[in-house]
Structure 1
Amino acid sequence: MALKAQYYKHTLNFRFDAGTSRGVLKNKDSYFIKIFDENTPEIFGLGEAGPLEGLSLDFGNLAENKIQEITNHINSGIYKNLDDLELDLTNFSSVKFALETAILDLKNGGKRKIFSNGFFEKSERIKINGLVWMGNKDFMKKQIVEKLDAGFDTIKLKIGAIDFNEEMELLRYIRKQFSVSEISLRVDANGAFSPVEALDKLKKLSEFEIHSIEQPIKTNQWEEMANLCEKTPVSIALDEELIENFSSKETLLKTIKPQYIILKPSLMGGISGSSEWIKTAESLGIDWWMTSALESNVGLNAICQFAATFKNDLPQGLGTGKLYENNFDSPLEIKSGEIYYNQNTEWNLDYFKTN
């Protein structure tokens, strides 16, 4: 196999101002690597690196330069086969995810098949949560209504940007209409609470029988987070905490003892690194679910197929495919709170064929 590669940068534009506790997102850059045999360039593996500002260790130029470097090395002929491409990318999680995806895709025939499982081959469905972005109260309420009307039975609200009492009102609005047996509620604080106030706020949130809260306080406060996990009336899921401590998996989880962890392969060592997190968590009796990190449908497809390799009935966080005005058309579809791969729908990846 005469390996060749191409590199692409694509700016994804949000359909709306996506509010988080770290600011408002309007667009996001992703970097893609295409790997192919020069004798059959129409058959290619495709992977996406989508680092996030303020979260990814390889954000921006770091990821872009590394993908360019890998592309140049492949084209120089120093790698003779796909197995040679298993590079040490410890501090480049998004690039590792892109490279792993592209390799698996090409090994499976360049059909966007990353793993052989029922999700890709039989259109088996994965249950997902409906994500409600931060914004003013009316904007958030509008999203809640849309998600409920669309048939989601797990709703996730990003909190911490507007007045806490207004956020409580939104939760109360849902609970007045739907019991905990009808709608499961998740909230994501993105570290917005201070350690001093966190437990009190968790007690107030417990009034609404919340399923879980993601990252209530900022990262690297292990003692404070462990104390919260021990006393909390609402299950706590670690998210950002994992990104900065990927080399201390067992120590971190044994110290903090969270109820859940949340895995974003682009931020947590790619597919291989996330598999290690899952193995460690399960050995300690800690549950988990997987989410995308605002990738395009290219990366989202890989994460969905990866998630489907595990037997995990918890709703996953994989409903981000409709976020962008200029995403790539794909067979991924969402119905009644579930995502599946429609084999009767084609990918539109002309962008990677003509550039």
Structure 2
Amino acid sequence: MEGVLKDIHFSYRPHLLKFRFDAGTSRGVLKDKTTYLISAVSVQNIGIIGWGEAAPLPKLSIDDVPDFEEVLSEICGKLSGYNIIGSEQAILEWAKSHISEIYPSIRFAFETALLDLLHGGRKMIFDTPFYNAGQPLPINGLIWMGEKGFMLDQIDKKLAEGYSCIKMKIGAIDFGQECELLAYIRKQYSAQQVILRVDANGAFSPEEALDKLKVLNEFDLHSIEQPIRQSQVKEMQSLCSLTPLPIALDEELIGIHEYGDKRKLLETIQPQYIILKPTLVGGIESCREWIALASSMGIGWWMTSALESNVGLNAIAQFTSTFDIVLPQGLGTGQLYHNNFDSPLRIERGEIKYSADKWEVPF
């Protein structure tokens, strides 16, 4: 018989993450970002703490709102004192029913904190070989936007580190220079040796997108993420039907909450892939819905972190490990910050794994 997590109390603490470099995207440059750690404690055992992370992404998350901290404080107070059935599914259903879909990062943080609490506050979100046996997950090496020389340095570094999948953000510098960078990789490595992905973050106009995809296809790319801005469903549908290069929807999924709306979007656009960021699309239960729908339609998928600290990254990696993974995932963001939390997460030769090391003292 399932137990009950009794009289749970939630609190939060903000933490300013500082990038090691100016992180360029098509929406601007990030130097730092504030994230919020959520703790869950039950009256049954005050010494056990479950941790989650609410990390809305500036200018992208639907819950990137000016009063986010006030909302989070209110939710922590309002939901403290509840008793919750001590099972994975009961926790996910409770979070879905008590936290609005307009705050996806908060729902994900509560899901994670409660699952961690359920498993004894050991940072075990899911009991998988990734957590308990060091089984690694393949990941892509991320190349950030910037001047050509900066991007070239990143490419050389990632290839030297042994990544077999490289993802390059494009749309910030001259398109011709970006193609030169892709050509540079292809001169050294074939598509069988190094998988190449690009992420446009919606930088192309609908009018130019198809011609640019035809040019990009010359570099034997695996896929392109979000070539045009989200919410242009008719244009994206046309692009996915004509493209020579597989298209992955990313930002397009943000703000789509109801099961029927998710199905309609995928049936209408018919993309080749979708990309799931739990922080942006509503957490674990929401991602499971997307995956089930995509799989039923023959649409591929992979999981990506969204600039969380190692607390959120740990949760996403463990969630990802509950599936049979073939494609490289987007889980390499833990190395971005000067002041991330020390964790057992380690990246070696294009794989992320959970080692035997300890978490930082504050936990």
Which of 194, 197, 212 is the matching residue for 2:205? 194
Change (3 A) 1:293 1:349: farther
Asked if 1 retains the 8 angstrom alpha-carbon contact of 2:276 and 2:302, the reply is yes
Change (3 A) 1:262 1:65: same
Residue equivalent to 1:92: 103
Which of 212, 228, 237 is the matching residue for 2:248? 237
Residue equivalent to 1:126: 137
Distance in 2, matches of 1:230 and 1:287, equals 16
Structure 1 residue 66: Cα displacement? 2.9
Which of 65, 80, 85 is the matching residue for 2:83? 80
**Large movers: runs of 4+ above 6 Å:** none
1:195-234 aligned within 5 A: 195-234=206-245
Residue equivalent to 1:70: 75
Which of 274, 288, 296 is the matching residue for 1:261? 274
1:179 aligns with 2:182: no
Residue equivalent to 1:30: 35
Asked if 2 retains the 8 angstrom alpha-carbon contact of 1:49 and 1:63, the reply is no
RMSD between aligned alpha carbons? 1.4
Identity of aligned residues (%): 55
1:1-355 aligned within 5 A: 1-38=6-43, 40-75=45-80, 77=81, 79-81=82-84, 85-86=94-95, 87-247=98-258, 248-342=261-355, 344-350=356-362
Distance in 2, matches of 1:199 and 1:156, equals 20
Asked if 1 retains the 8 angstrom alpha-carbon contact of 2:256 and 2:281, the reply is no
Helix, strand or coil at the partner of 2:334: coil
Deviations 1:80-114 (A, max 9, x none): 33668531321110000000000000000000000
Change (3 A) 1:316 1:51: same
| Amino acid aligned to 2:115 | L
Any unmatched runs of 5+ in structure 2?
Answer: 1-5
Structure 1 residue 55: Cα displacement? 1.3
Asked if 2 retains the 8 angstrom alpha-carbon contact of 1:46 and 1:106, the reply is yes
Change (3 A) 1:241 1:329: same
Q: How many residues align?
A: 348
Distance in 2, matches of 1:282 and 1:2, equals 38
| Amino acid aligned to 2:52 | G
Structure 1 residue 276: Cα displacement? 0.6
Asked if 2 retains the 8 angstrom alpha-carbon contact of 1:14 and 1:25, the reply is yes
Helix, strand or coil at the partner of 1:249: helix
Helix, strand or coil at the partner of 2:100: coil
Distance in 2, matches of 1:246 and 1:80, equals 26
| Amino acid aligned to 2:25 | T
Structure 1 residue 73: Cα displacement? 2.5
Residue equivalent to 2:3: none
Structure 1 residue 229: Cα displacement? 0.6
Structure 1 residue 191: Cα displacement? 0.3
Helix, strand or coil at the partner of 2:30: strand
Asked if 2 retains the 8 angstrom alpha-carbon contact of 1:130 and 1:147, the reply is yes
Asked if 2 retains the 8 angstrom alpha-carbon contact of 1:66 and 1:95, the reply is no
Asked if 1 retains the 8 angstrom alpha-carbon contact of 2:99 and 2:106, the reply is no
Asked if 1 retains the 8 angstrom alpha-carbon contact of 2:50 and 2:113, the reply is yes
Distance in 2, matches of 1:288 and 1:141, equals 28
Asked if 2 retains the 8 angstrom alpha-carbon contact of 1:63 and 1:95, the reply is no
Deviations 1:194-224 (A, max 9, x none): 0110000000001100100000000111111
Distance in 1, matches of 2:275 and 2:72, equals 26
Asked if 2 retains the 8 angstrom alpha-carbon contact of 1:47 and 1:101, the reply is yes
Change (3 A) 1:238 1:349: farther
Asked if 2 retains the 8 angstrom alpha-carbon contact of 1:33 and 1:67, the reply is no
Moved more, 247-256 or 185-194: 247-256
